Structures are given as C-alpha cells and as structure tokens.
Amino acid sequence: MSRVILITGASSGIGFEAAKQLAQQGHTVYGAARRIDRLQSLTQYGVTPVALDVTDGAAAKVVVDQIIAKENRLDVLINNAGYGSYGAVEEVSIDEAKRQFDVNLFGLAQMTKLVLPQMRKQHAGTIINTSSMAGKVWTPFGAWYHATKFAVEGFSNAMRLELEPFGIHVVLVEPGAIKTDWGMIAADHLSESSAQGPYAKAAQRTAKNLRRMYSGHFITTPSKIGAVMAKAATAAKPRTHYLTGFGAKPSVFFSRVVPNRVFDAVIKRVM
C-alpha cells in the first residue's frame, strides 16, 4: 500500500537516501529541511521538497496541516533532523547545549505531537526517530550529544507504550558510524570549543581521530541506513529498534557485558 511520508533532515545523508528510496518505491514523500535549495535534487525521484526548521513550531504546524489537507492522511513521520556538537562539558556553552536539545529532542517531539491527532484518527501510523548507538554508549567530549540521544531513546520507548493502543508504531533507528558530514561537523565543533585550555591536547587528538574515521572507506554508507528506514516505514509490524551500521552492535554489546571502567578504558584508547 502506498504511504504518505514526511521526512525531516532530508537534504543529505540518511534522510536524503530514505526519501529517495521510499519515493522510488512509489510512496508519496515530503522531504523537509531548513534550506529548500538543498532538496531540489530529490525532485527527480518524485520527492516533494518542503522548507522546515523543526524548532519553529508555527511553521511546522503549517507544513503538517498542508500535507494532511492535500493527502487526507499522513502515514509515516521520520524524525531525522539533528546534528552533533562535540566539546568538553566545561567549555561548551549552555546556549549550544540547549540548541542541541532543541533540534535533536524538542524539535522531534514537536513534529511528533503535530502528526499524532491525524494518526489517531486513522488508527494507524508509524513514527521513526533517528537515534544512534550514541544513545546507548558514550565517548569523551560527546556529553551533550549523547545526552540528546539517550533522551530520544527514553522518550521513544515510553511513547511507544502510550501509542500502541491507537495502532501507532514507534521505531528507533540507531546507526553506528555512517559516512556522512556528521563526523566532520562534530570534529570541527570540538576543535572550536576545546582548542585551548586544559582539554586542548585530548580534544585535538579526538578531533583528528573523528576526521580519520569519517573519511575512511570502511564505515557504512547512508544508502544502507536509508534502506533500513524504508523497511521500517513500510513494514506492517516494524521492529521497535534497528541497531545497525558500522560498530553499532559490537559497541553496544561490549558496553553491556563489561564493567563501565573497562569500557571507559577501551573508549579512551580508541578515541
């Protein structure tokens, strides 16, 4: 059955690939991002581009209302908008920390709240939230990013229980290391926030390792995670969690079977 799907953060990476693949499968796909010019290449696959900042509640409501008015339904919301900002807790401003939560958690929650009345009316729908293996494990200088993803995990798991009676599925996609701009952006933020001061040496080393990892050829391509999202979006009974991509399953498994101090020691050596 063809579905009506809204994807945030669709201008690049995982969101772009998910939008492309779902449109190619014949679904009605709206791809949203802050800069609509970066969505134009999706139109060749049949995706409708939408300008949207998930932190702007009024604008988000207009977008959702317009889609429902045109399509008479909304079957899937993929909350993919988000970013990673690394830096020592002591040196990252509270304003920057709040901005990460505004985008990664509260923007996601806002979009979800806007689509739920229609999905309850349909007694059907799927909410897919992009989390990360970073919502289950931790690394130095990533405290605020990890905090947002741990929050997305708890938010989604609790919401799944609330929405199940209404026929609405809540799904978490938890990628590992993916070949996108995420790693470079995180490294740049780390260099900017902690380039000087007591954390400088460790921060520079971590930023260097992030750039090396995310420029390598062994990490997972966005198209593979996009395919996982497409599968979850179209499944009659999707799984609750899709832990997938380079390093995701081994890292999470290792964190669960060894003491925290052992995990900490390994992560410090790797990073």
Q: What is the pTM of this model?
A: 0.94
Per-residue pLDDT of the chain in tens (271 residues, 90 and over written 9)? 899 999 999 999 999 999 999 999 999 999 999 999 999 999 999 999 999 999 999 999 999 999 999 999 999 999 999 998 899 999 999 999 999 999 999 999 999 999 999 999 999 999 999 999 999 999 999 999 999 999 999 999 999 999 999 999 999 999 998 888 788 888 888 888 887 889 999 998 899 888 888 887 788 999 999 999 999 999 999 999 999 999 999 999 999 999 999 999 999 888 7
Q: Can you tell me the distance from the alpha carbon of 239 to that of 142, in angstroms, rounded to the nearest whole number?
A: 28
Q: Please check whether the domain covering 4-270 is classified as CATH 3.40.50.720.
A: yes
Q: Active-site residue 199, yes or no?
A: no
Q: Can you tell me the distance from the alpha carbon of 156 to that of 252, in angstroms, rounded to the nearest whole number?
A: 18
Q: Can you tell me the distance from the alpha carbon of 98 to that of 91, in angstroms, rounded to the nearest whole number?
A: 14
Q: Which residue in the list 145, 199, 214, 242 is annotated as catalytic?
A: 145
- The distance in angstroms from the start CA to the end CA of the chain is 45
